[in-house]
Structure 1
Amino acid sequence: MLSIIISSYQPHYYDQLVKNINETIGNDFMYEIIQIQNPNIMGITKAYNEGARKAVYDYLLFLHEDVLFKTQGWGVKLISHLDQPDTGAVGIAGSSYVPSAPCGWYINNSSYNHIYCIQNSKKNTPSLISTFQSGETEKRAFALDGVFIATGKKNFREILFNENLTGFHGYDLDFSLRMAKKFKNFVIGDILIEHFSEGNPDQKWFDNITEVRKNILPDFNQTTDMNVEKKAFLEFMKKYFSYHLISTRTIRETLRFFPKRLNFRDKTEILKSYFYYIRYSKSYNKKFTNE
């Protein structure tokens, strides 16, 4: 029933995950694990598309290898979500609002962020992060986090992962938002995993999500949240000008994401920020000229 596709480069994580899946997915549940060996050989989009082409079953799960399942019998639960009419993709983390400005799945207003996961890292003790109330099993979303994304093979064939995106960043945002244009995405709250690493939102990540959003407009029939839009754009500007020279060209690049539905006060606040960056551009640009 389920083909589990893993872009793999850490044998110790992969081996413990395979054992964990065998022990938790459910008795008599039919599945296969497709390992794509990928120690920086190819981008994750190419690895995932290659794995999907090899898949035998009608349902696909794209999974990071540094996770463990905590829920017993999760295979049947996952299929029940994917079997719902108009379902596109499901994940364990995502958001139900897409600002005009580029950002990852996580946005600046917690009411739009949905997650059900145990987060583990070398720095902190494991902690359960959940936005689900008792009895809730799914929340509508648009963007999904790439640690766990499941979909039907029929829907996948319409979307595919975008192999123009190289590396390992932005692929999940691109895939889930394009999926949300045609179908309904959900974050699910009845399959618990433990994740053993944290994200690394560096410049490569930032540039990739910016590139993704050049081609995907935030037209998801959502009511405009002006506070989210303003904050998201100001955060985007701050990040953009920390990675790129302030110039006429780069200012134009940021303006393409300017929120259209803002009140006069919020537009004025953003424009004041532009004047600030322009005024102190020499100071900001010094770090680039000294490199």
Structure 2
Amino acid sequence: MISLIICTRDAVALAAVSQNVAATIGIQYEVIAIDNKNGQYSICEAYNLGASKAKFGFLCFMHEDIRFHTQGWGAIVADLLADHTIGVLGITGGMWQVAAPAAWWGCGLSLCRENVLNVFEDGHTEMELHNPEGATLTDVAVVDGMWMCSRKSVWQEHPFDDRTFTDFHFYDVDYCTEIFSHNLRVCVTFCVLLEHHSRGSVNEMWVHNALKYQQKRRGQLPFGTVELAAAEAHHLELKALQEFAGRLIQGQFPRWLAAGYLGRCFMLGPFNRDNLWLAKQWLRKG
């Protein structure tokens, strides 16, 4: 019933997650592993290739560094995706996508909905559970791509954008944005628990893809599943812009690009202290 699509670079990790799936999924499935150890595919290309090979109607796009704790999670996914109002299902996401180059957590912790056990390199774990409503299913704007499920028919209409996103980051945010824009729900389930062995990285590639996403979706931002007062939306956008401008200033990016985003910060908060601090950092680096 479920086709699991994994872009793999590590045979040992693939074997481990495949063994975990076999012990927990509880329904008929297949694993479609796209070998990318040589980096010949972007993740969008790998996922589109894998989905095109899928024989089942439910697709699960997943990283190879996750492990499932919930027994019988496959039936839970199948039951949820049988609801044709749902286009994407994940386990962590944000309810508001800001009008700035930002990941799903750019909305701030209060608007994040999460149910994941993070496992760190030193072996310690941290449970990220943000579910103030005590819900089993919550509508969000976008979900994290560590684990995200769709019906094959949804993917066929809205495949991953492998022309714009030729690296790793923002494929998930863009996929959710596309589906949300076609009036399908993007949801986080609290009925499936998994552990994730990587916190990801916000690096130069992340910044470049954030810029690509911002350019592509400019006319659609912001959006979300909550009604925000204008002042709150303004505050979230300013915070996200400040964080992004800071990354540009500290990184190896053109000064004019950092200046442009710093200018947007000042337009939103002319006398904001954080803007003044960023401006000083920009001047010092020059």
Q: Name the % identity.
A: 25
1:199 paired to 2:197: no
SS class of match (1:89): strand
**Residue 245 (structure 1) aligned to one of 254, 260, 266:** 254
Question: Deviations 1:267-289 (Å, cap 9, x if unpaired)?
Answer: 31369937963x7645313xxxx
Structure 1 residues 282 and 110, CA gap change in structure 2 (3 angstroms)? closer
Normalising to structure 1: TM-score of the pair? 0.86
**Partner residue in 2 for 1:177:** 177
Q: By how many angstroms is 1:136 displaced?
A: 2.0
Aligned residues of 2:262 and 2:275 also touching (Cα < 8 A)? no
Matched, 1:227 2:235: yes
TM-score scaled by structure 2?
0.88
Task: State the match for 1:288 in structure 2.
Answer: none
CA distance in 2, matches of 1:275, 1:91: 37
Question: Structure 1 residue 31 and structure 2 residue 29: aligned?
Answer: yes
Name the SS of the counterpart of 2:166 in structure 1.
coil
Contact 2:104-2:173 at 8 Å conserved across structures: yes
Q: Is the 8 A contact 1:63 1:146 kept in 2?
A: yes
Note the 1:143-162 alignment, pairs <5 A: 143-162=142-161
Contact 2:117–2:125 under 8 Å retained in 1: yes
> Distance in 1 between the 2:110 and 2:246 partners?
23
Q: 1:74 to 1:272 in 2, by over 3 A?
A: closer
Equivalents in 2 of 1:42, 1:34: separation in Å?
Answer: 15
Between stretches 56-65 and 81-90, larger displacement belongs to: 81-90
Asked if structure 1 preserves the Cα contact closer than 8 Å seen for 2:21 and 2:68, the reply is yes
When residues 111 and 13 of structure 1 are mapped into structure 2, their CA distance, relative to the original with a 3 A threshold, is same
The answer for the alignment partner of 2:130 in structure 1 is 131
* Closer, same or farther: CA 184–276 of 1 in aligned 2, 3 Å: closer
Q: What letter matches 1:37 in structure 2?
A: D
Q: Does 1:214 align with 2:222?
A: no
Deviation track 1:81-129 (CA, whole Å, cap 9, x = no partner) reads 2122411101111100111111111125211111111100113512221
> Once the 2 structures are TM-superposed, how far is the Cα of residue 48 of structure 1 from its aligned partner?
0.3
> 8 Å contact 2:96–2:111 — kept in the other structure?
yes
Q: 2:207, 2:278 → 1: CA distance?
A: 22
Alpha-carbon distance in 2 for matches of 1:129, 1:107? 16
Task: Give the deviation of 1:254 after TM superposition.
Answer: 6.4
**Kept after mapping to 2: 8 A contact 1:173/1:209:** no
CA RMSD of aligned residues (A): 2.4
Q: 1:253 to 1:22 in 2, by over 3 A?
A: same
The amino acid of 1:210's aligned partner reads L
How far did residue 252 of structure 1 move?
3.9
- Count of residue pairs brought into register by the alignment: 275
Q: Give unmatched runs, 5+ long, in structure 2.
A: none
Q: Which 5+ residue runs of structure 1 have no aligned equivalent?
A: 286-291
Cα deviation 1:31-78 (Å, max 9, x = unaligned): 111010011121111000000000001110001001111000000101
The verdict on how the C-alpha distance between 1:219 and 1:197 changes in structure 2, with shifts beyond 3 A counting, is: closer
Query: 1 CA distance for matches of 2:261 and 2:133?
Result: 44
Residues 230 and 270 in structure 1, CA contact (< 8 A), matched pair in contact too: no
The higher radius of gyration belongs to 1
- The 8 Å contact of residues 108 and 231 in structure 1, kept in 2 or not, is answered as no
Amino acid at match of 1:245: P
Partner of 1:15: 15
AA at the equivalent of 2:271: E
Do the aligned partners of residues 65 and 99 (structure 1) sit closer, same or farther apart at CA in structure 2, a change above 3 Å counting? same
